[in-house]
């Protein structure tokens, strides 16, 4: 099973997937040579995501999780509707956006109209994300289809991913996070009921968001939600499930960048040894 990301952030999702299903083999591909995606055009993001998914298909993966909110928000729907049915029938691509939307709305993804019995009092959800994810409008659009009573306030955080990937300390990251939180709260006209860390890098600074946000704020855990969603998907579609190993399954770590440099930093995201191998992307 493949897991694709533009850089290191998807390793937080991979960690949750491995913890939930330790006997399934996973192949991770980070497109570090072209990261960060947050500074690229939508067409670039779509092309790079397709090439990354195709590279994982070439590794024998029949199912790929796009563990990058930017790539999922910009490219996933187009890949699923326009590319996969013709180029790779019998294979599929999932994304990290779906489990988050389902958790926020409490409505299954396949439901395109809000169920009458799920209408509640209006509430507000704050979304912290990259510039392309915010610009795509994916969170408010998909949440609005299923739960129009939920108001979505988005906050782009352009500095966070580069700083996290550089290994910046909390002393540097803390003021940046507090600045983004202050901007959101100023525009939200009241404190949101819950918050979404809409980038897979952000779990590494979740403690800084928790400190900056109002006490007791609900923060959705994207890696855990993705792991739970994948388990349910494989129960419904067992043909996509890789064969279980009798012991913890081997993991493979691939990158389009400098394998030694990537591996040195990636362990902080994954929480374990990450011996990367370089491959050519696209």
Question: Which parts are annotated binding residues for substrate?
Answer: 5-6, 37-38, 69-70, 200-201
Nearest to 82 by CA among 98, 66, 93, 67: 93
Overall size of the chain counted in residues: 282
Q: Which two tokens stand for residue 8?
A: 């290191």
**Active-site option among 13, 76, 127, 199:** 199
Ordered strands of the 26-30 beta sheet: 92-95, 63-66, 2-5, 26-30, 251-255, 276-278
Annotation says 199 is catalytic: yes
Query: What per-residue string of b and e applies to 251-270 under the rule 16 or more CB within 10 Å gives b?
Result: bebbbbbebeebbebbeebb
Q: At which residue do the structure tokens 């995606």 appear?
A: 37
**Active-site option among 35, 61, 68, 125:** 68
Residues flagged as binding site: 5-6, 37-38, 69-70, 200-201
How many C-beta atoms lie closer than 10 Å to residue 136's C-beta? Answer: 22
DSSP alpha helix (H) spans, 36-96: 42-58, 69-71, 77-78, 84-87
Q: Which two tokens stand for residue 33?
A: 């040579």
CA triplet 243, 249, 255: central angle to 5 degrees?
A: 105
Annotation says 68 is catalytic: yes
Q: Which residues form the catalytic set? A: 68, 199
């Amino acid at each position: 099973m493949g897991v694709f990301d533009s850089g290191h952030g998807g390793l937080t999702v991979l960690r949750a997937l491995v913890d939930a299903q330790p006997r399934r083999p996973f192949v991770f591909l980070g497109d570090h040579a072209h990261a960060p995606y947050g500074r690229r055009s939508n067409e670039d993001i779509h092309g790079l995501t397709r090439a990354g998914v195709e590279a994982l298909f070439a590794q024998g993966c029949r199912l790929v999780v796009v563990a990058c909110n930017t790539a999922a928000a910009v490219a996933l729907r187009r890949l699923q509707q326009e590319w996969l049915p013709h180029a790779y029938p019998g294979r599929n691509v999932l994304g990290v956006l779906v489990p988050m939307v389902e958790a926020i709305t409490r409505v299954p993804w396949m439901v395109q109209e809000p169920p009458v019995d799920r209408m509640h009092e209006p509430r507000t959800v704050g979304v912290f994300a990259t510039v392309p994810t915010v610009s795509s409008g994916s969170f408010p659009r998909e949440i609005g289809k299923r739960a129009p009573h939920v108001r979505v306030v988005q906050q782009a955080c352009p500095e966070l991913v580069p700083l996290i990937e550089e290994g910046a300390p909390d002393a540097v990251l803390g003021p940046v996070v507090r600045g983004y939180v202050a901007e959101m709260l100023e525009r939200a006209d009241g404190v949101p009921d819950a918050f979404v860390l809409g980038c897979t890098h952000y779990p590494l600074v979740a403690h800084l968001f928790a400190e900056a946000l109002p006490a007791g704020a609900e923060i959705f855990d994207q890696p855990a939600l993705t792991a739970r969603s994948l388990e349910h998907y494989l129960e419904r579609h067992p043909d996509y499930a890789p064969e279980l190993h009798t012991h913890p399954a081997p993991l493979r770590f691939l990158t389009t960048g400098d394998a030694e440099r990537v591996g040195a930093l990636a362990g902080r995201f994954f929480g374990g040894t990450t011996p990367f191998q370089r491959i050519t992307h696209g």
